[in-house]
Chain A
Amino acid sequence: MTHTKTLIAMAALTLGAASAAPTKITFWNFLGGGDGARMKQLIDGYNGSQDKYRIEQTVLQWGVPFYTKVRTSTSVGQAPDLISFHLSRISGWAPANLLRPITGAELASVGLKQADFFPKLWNAANYQGKTYAVPLDTHPMVMYYNKDLAGKAGLLDASGNLKPITSIDAFTAALKAVKDKTGMAGLAFENGSPAYMPWRLWLAMIDQQGGKIVENNKIVSGEMGRKALQLMADWQKNGYMLKNPDYPTSVAQFTTGKAAFMLNGVWEVPTMVDGAKNKTVNFKYGVAPLPKFYGTQATWGDSHGFAIPNNARKPISKDHLAGVLDFVSYVQKNSLTWAAGGHIPAYQPVVNSAQYTALKPNSDYAKTAAANVAYDPAGWYSGAAGPLEAVSAKYFPAAIQGQLSVNKAISMFESEANRLMAGTPKP
């Protein structure tokens, strides 16, 4: 008798569950513009592919506003199930218990494993032996070049590709050749205060020489750092690099044909692809990995990933976790869509696929760049738009634009950065 009742109750429950609305998975991200459009495409694709879960996204402003909002929400138990995240921030967020670790078994339950990901990205998603994020992509700095201008300056080989640039002096010489032979500038590069691009190139230059930026919460880049900044300042002083007031202008200087090279992140690839299609970019272009200026071909990069906020007093429930993992796995396997945004997928099966190899110009830079990514130095202050980058963004552009001498800029940067890093880590 009781058995029958239990059975009926169970049957009713199962039926109820089957006909119930899909579980809503909340997802906050900072992906605007083209990235936002592609993420929406992935979300719509996922929601259409099954009816167990439904991803609902909220797009917030990139940078400090996004991270502040997630941080405060997590600490009061109001964070969403899933967030987008920069892997460069793992070392700041993991020790503060803001992210929920994801186990190997949980990943395996949706068919993902460590070996699927580029080792550098996997390492960046881990902190002290635990995985805090699932890498989605990497977006390193690469070199864009205008084939028309580079050709006039004698920098192309017979097949119309850039001749290899194998040292920093060769790069400076190439910039000079453009200026001398075409009258245009060599380089378009963001340098109006506050600019983040100088930090990225600076970091890559130091990493290529095997140098270090931070040790024991102190800047230790010394003479190597000073020289790297001096180089950029000299490019500007000699007229090889255009001055610009802000980031969009720096991109426009390249897309309107005012400079032969642009050092920028891969996220501008769609600008070039779409520009060529709409005839707003009226020259042939190429994209190459950042050259080997010194000992290695290291390039600054950061990575997007997926992370689960460690909601205070309200850990994520089992079915929400299952939905999150299911969605993350779907995105990985469909990351060819994401790759159109210029980002290099973190998921190697996609990068090694024939479709990706056919994706141009992406496959021209993808493997070299992804294998050579150098992240920000680890620490609570580090990462995309984090406090340390923000300090550099004040002084490096000032040195490049000649408002401060390189020595003065470096010493002001070091003293403010050291003061920042000496402070107690704020969770």
Chain B
Amino acid sequence: MRDTVSNAGPMSARVTRRGRARRSAALTAALMLAPFLLAYLLFFIFPVLRAAQFSVTDSSLTETGRYIGPSNYVRLVQDPDFWSSLKNTGYFALLTVIPVTALGLLVAIAVNRLILARNFVQALFFLPYVLPVSVVTLLWQWILNSSFGIVHALTGSDVAWFNTVSTAMPTVAVVTIWWTVGFNMLLFLAGLQNIPKEVYEAASLDGAQGLGLFRFITWPLLWPVTTLLLTLQLISSLKIFAQVYILTAGGPFNSTRVVLEYMYDTAFQNLDAGYASAIAVAFFVVILLVSLLQAALLSRRA
């Protein structure tokens, strides 16, 4: 707009020129957004809408079936397998969301106090996060192998961690925490470094120290990061699939079958795409509601 200001011309000319400029700016924006938007519409919105459409048909994996109204949803509500998979997902979220956030905070505080080799230690904790899930799961399968693993060698325990009802889900949770805690640590570290030193100085002048500093300065000033992480963690914990698929395949006898594993089995093993779509849509609604609820609770707290 600089030229309109410097070249003061007749009012009407200025308006048209400004209109033209605005229009061309909009065009540029649209052009720049187009590649993303196109991909977004084609590969996200379109499949989502199709899934919603399939959920009211009796489609198989490769053939679009006929419209059958809400019967897939009626079946879903009465399906004990769906409810137990929802329960298993909730159990996994319980085992991970708060622990991985808390652990991330602890590690961040510890690393933040380091003077020597801070970057090195930080990198060590972050390292697992850059590994793909297949590598992480393979590592832990070997570490915990009940006949040949290092845990067996060190402790003599022959617990089959991923195949025992009481240990399967907690072990999957531990693997997940080990894998993802580095990300939380990094965000907390950034949060910690954003708290100005002066605030701490002022507080200590007022007599705060140790836990008091944490309770009245660190914790409240970190709260925005904490809420962000809790929300991200909740969503990603509810979406658990790959670790379960590789480590336990939902076993032993369905005790770790989370919702997405159930959806996968329904679609790709039993070839029932209609019902699998209904599971997907219903689960989408569940995640949405839970995240909104959590956001409401957390924002009230702040």
Contacts and interface: CB of A to CB of B under 8 A. Distances in A.
Interface of A: 64, 68, 71-72, 74-76, 192-194, 242-246, 249, 252-253, 386-387, 390, 394-395, 397-398, 401, 403-404, 409, 412, 420, 423-424, 426-427
A423 B272 contact: yes
B148 interface: yes
Contacts of A246: 141, 145
Contacts of B145: 245-246, 249
A424 to B, nearest CB: 7
A75 B148 contact: no
B146 A194 contact: no
Interface residues of B, number: 30
A386 B269 CA distance: 7
B160 interface: yes
Given A245-B145, A427-B63, 11 more contacts: A71-B61, A245-B146, A245-B161, A387-B269, A390-B269, A394-B251, A401-B163, A401-B252, A403-B252, A424-B58, A427-B271
Contacts of B163: 192-193, 245, 397, 401
A427 B60 contact: yes
List the 7 closest A-B pairs by CB distance, nearest first: A75-B62, A426-B271, A193-B251, A426-B60, A193-B252, A245-B160, A394-B253
Contact of B61 (A68, A193, A404, A409): A68
A74 B249 CA distance: 27
Contacts of B58: 424
Nearest to A420: B270
Nearest to B58: A424
A246 B253 CA distance: 15
B146 A243 contact: yes
Contacts of A244: 146-147, 160
Given A72-B61, A245-B145, A246-B141, A426 B252 contact: no
B162 interface: yes
B103 interface: no
Contacts of A395: 253
A246 B144 CA distance: 12
A409 to B, nearest CB: 8
Given A403-B165, A426-B270, A245 B253 contact: no
B122 interface: no
A76 B268 CA distance: 17
A243 B160 contact: yes
Contacts of B269: 64, 386-387, 390
Nearest to B256: A193
